[in-house]
Amino acid sequence: MLLNPPTASSLWDTWLFYEDGVHYLFYLASTRLDRPWDSIGMATSADGVHFEDRGKVIFKADDATYLGAGHTWKAGDKYYFNFSEDRNGTLEIFFAESDDLLNWRRIPDEESISRLDPNWYAEGTEFSAQRWDNIWVIDDEEGGYYGYVTAVAKEGPIGLRGTCASVTSPDGRVFTTGAPVIDPGVWGDKLEIGGVEKIGDQYFMFAAQAEIPLGLRWSAHHAQAAGGVYVLRSDAKEGPFELDPRQPPVLVSAPEHYTYFSRFYRCGDEMLSCHHSITPVRDIVNVYPKAGSYLAPLKKVQIDDGILSYRWWPGNEALKGRALPTGLEYAAGRGLTQAPTTTADSATFDAAGGGQLELPISYDLAKGIVFEATLAVAAHDAPLSSAGLMIETVRAWSGSLAIADNSGRFSIGAYNSYAFRAADSKAVPASSSQRWRVLIKDTLVEYYIDDAFVQAFTLPEPPTGRLVLIAESATVTATDVAVYEMTL
């Protein structure tokens, strides 16, 4: 939504580094869509919303098959990032350094290279190729630097050897491989580590599954889940990192992928997170570029009683440009029990079954908009009541519908003006009044309720520009309705 770099054929895994008021974005990139990932690109921003692409800063070596993502840190007066390279099915990790965060040089392999230790980690399994990928580096409170690496355990139940390796360094430049920090026997062999940070007195880890294997179906948020990003926790940097049963995944997709791979972003005194969004929806389990992937808006990381969640980052207010008309005073309804009561920024409408109230404006969704409204629901005497927003696609009164019901469930899927088929759903706090914020740009959408991030989604069909409020077995009152043009 924020950036699809013009200097690369595509963008994939992302990470950021903050210094002196500048957000430095690094992203996995490619020069051609018909070849695997081959480079790391970079962009900068003064506000974390509007990024200037600066092109490629590192390319894979000529003898490498492909290049993988990494992480950026500062040690002494130098800046470093790592990246993996594959040669004949073997991944190793290499390093680059910079004096100014803008100009990067590859550190000679003979000076710094990271390899797996075969005493702890497998050269491959029946389900996974060898993995040694993406060091996430943090300051070690005992001195030096501590890192976390995607790996596959040498020992453990077949198919459940996904783990995270540890590495240590006295200088932040040369790393020594250590023991795993996730016990084998829990996660699938293709587990991917997105990062670790200490927040308060505990360490939190992003651990991602691009697909859910048999044996891990218990971890799926939805029966059709394509994958997700999970949060593991430990009291010590050395682990063991484990999943709290109360902790839901922070990113999910179903039945295909539309978002992936969370990373932490320590931005001054704030802990944020970044990830990417995917359009069109697709299978992502390969090393080839995916055109149409974008940096998603940054999220605020919040911890409540040991549970990590995403919230609306106030810096994203910079997305909002001029206010656009809602047209609500002229809104047309369908399936309503009586004529709606409307003003320029409010509406009350009632439906015994499914009722729609269309905003009679065709918005420029290629430019992008931010929609905001408080939706209050007075439920009928019915088993289920809800309110929501439909983004019309292709046909009038039909499209992609997101609704929150009085049982505490947010669902999203296709609505044909009569029947709703939820493709994905997740738990949200049940409330008779919720403040919705919806970001829409082309086919990419993000939903927030009461400032809590709920879902990143990709529309399966092109939007027409029309928005429709929805009432299900309820009287719905929408107040403080506002639409803003995006500044992107």
CATH number of the domain at 410, please: 2.60.120.560
- Of the segments 119-133, 206-220, 360-374, which one has the largest average pLDDT value? 360-374
- Identify the pLDDT of residue 179: 97
Q: Residue 187 domain-assigned?
A: yes
Which tens digit of pLDDT belongs to each residue from 407-443? 999 999 999 999 999 988 999 998 999 999 999 999 9
Domain count, the chain: 2
- Identify the pLDDT of residue 378: 95
Q: Residue 4 domain-assigned?
A: no
- Identify the pLDDT of residue 281: 78
Segments of 171-269 assigned E as strands: 176-180, 192-199, 202-209, 227-234, 251-253, 257-267
Same domain, 194 and 174: yes
CATH of the domain at 139: 2.115.10.20
Which tens digit of pLDDT belongs to each residue from 106-155? 999 999 999 999 999 999 888 888 999 999 999 999 999 999 999 999 99
Distance (Å, rounded) from C-alpha 244 to C-alpha 229?
14
Q: Residue 5 domain-assigned?
A: no
- Identify the pLDDT of residue 2: 82
Same domain, 116 and 251: yes
% pLDDT > 70, the chain: 99
Which one, of 190, 212, 81, 213, lies nearest residue 131 by Cα?
A: 190
Q: Residue 284 domain-assigned?
A: yes
Tokens 């939007």 belong to: 463
- Identify the pLDDT of residue 224: 84
**Given a cut of 90, is residue 449 above it in pLDDT?**
yes
Q: Residue 69 domain-assigned?
A: yes
- Identify the pLDDT of residue 287: 65
Q: Name the token pair of 310.
A: 């995403």
Same domain, 162 and 292: yes
* CB contact at 8 A, 469 and 483: no
Average pLDDT over residues 278-283: 81
Distance (Å, rounded) from C-alpha 52 to C-alpha 488?
11
Same domain, 237 and 94: yes
Q: Residue 174 domain-assigned?
A: yes
φ/ψ bin of 473: left (φ > 0), alpha (ψ from -120 to 50), beta (otherwise): left
What is the residue range of 85's domain? Answer: 10-312
Give the domain-ending residue among 282, 312, 342. Answer: 312
Q: Residue 116 domain-assigned?
A: yes
Same domain, 290 and 367: no
Distance (Å, rounded) from C-alpha 300 to C-alpha 64?
37
**Given a cut of 90, is residue 388 above it in pLDDT?**
yes
% pLDDT > 90, the chain: 84
Which tens digit of pLDDT belongs to each residue from 301-352? 999 999 999 999 999 999 999 999 999 999 999 999 999 999 999 999 999 9
**How high does pLDDT run on average in the chain?**
94
Instruction: Name residues whose C-beta falls within 8 Å of residue 213's C-beta, 6 or more positions apart in sequence.
Output: 127, 159, 188, 189, 190
- Identify the pLDDT of residue 343: 96
Higher pLDDT, residue 256 or 350: 350
Give the pLDDT band (50/70/90) at residue 242. very high
Same domain, 233 and 100: yes
φ/ψ bin of 65: left (φ > 0), alpha (ψ from -120 to 50), beta (otherwise): alpha
* CB contact at 8 A, 306 and 323: no
Same domain, 295 and 356: no
Give the domain-ending residue among 312, 331, 349. Answer: 312
Bridge partners, 378 (sequence order): 475
From residue 199, alpha-carbon distances to 22, 205, 333 in Å are: 23, 10, 48
Same domain, 453 and 378: yes
- Identify the pLDDT of residue 8: 66
Q: Name the token pair of 395.
A: 């046909």
From residue 106, alpha-carbon distances to 39, 42, 44 in Å are: 12, 15, 20
Same domain, 150 and 213: yes
Q: Residue 199 domain-assigned?
A: yes
- Identify the pLDDT of residue 254: 85
Q: Name the token pair of 240.
A: 């063991």
Give the domain-ending residue among 262, 293, 312. Answer: 312
Three-state SS for 346-371 is: EEEEEEEEEEEEEECCCCCCCCCEEE
If you write DSSP's letter for every residue of 230-242 in order, what string do you get?
A: EEEEESSTT---B
**First-to-last C-alpha distance (Å) of the chain:** 9
Distance (Å, rounded) from C-alpha 75 to C-alpha 394?
53
Q: What is the side-by-side strand order in the sheet with 176-180?
A: 132-139, 145-152, 162-169, 176-180
Same domain, 301 and 430: no
Same domain, 384 and 426: yes
Same domain, 376 and 290: no
- Identify the pLDDT of residue 7: 66
Whole-model pTM: value is: 0.94
Segments of 283-432 assigned E as strands: 293-295, 299-304, 307-312, 320-324, 332-334, 341-343, 346-359, 369-379, 386-393, 399-405, 409-415, 420-427
Does the N-terminal peptide bond of residue 280 adopt cis geometry, omega within 30 degrees of 0? Answer: yes
